Structure 1
């Protein structure tokens, strides 16, 4: 498992790789609005769509891989 990112680091990674937040969300079957909210810190990714977005962005560890 790689190191986890902060929301700011995840946003910088997207920017450095030329990936828009909307494109990332579509590629990972995520809700774009929720993805924006996770990256801005409005949603912490505790459950549901926000959790899925946080795992895809590398902000939270994938619970399946940590078991």
Structure 2
């Protein structure tokens, strides 16, 4: 990946993979509502699950803690 994706680029990336937001959320063990909120800009991805979603979508550089990676909250 080159650079950080915008929300529109992240949606296009999901479309290129043939995945819905719901499928992406299920595959990564995140809340679909949080994923939609990050894509819509209502959550900025600064901490917690929103941060994890933003990093997974390539909308933010960062790391995901082991606890969040294993689906723990």
Using the size of structure 1 for normalisation, the TM-score is: 0.86
Aligned residue for 2:53, secondary structure, equals helix
Q: Which has the higher contact order (CA 8 A, sep 6+)?
A: 1
Using the size of structure 2 for normalisation, the TM-score is: 0.79
The alignment's C-alpha RMSD in Å is: 1.5
Aligned counterpart, 1:59: 59
Aligned residue for 2:46, secondary structure, equals coil
The runs of at least 4 aligned residues of structure 1 exceeding 6 Å deviation read: none
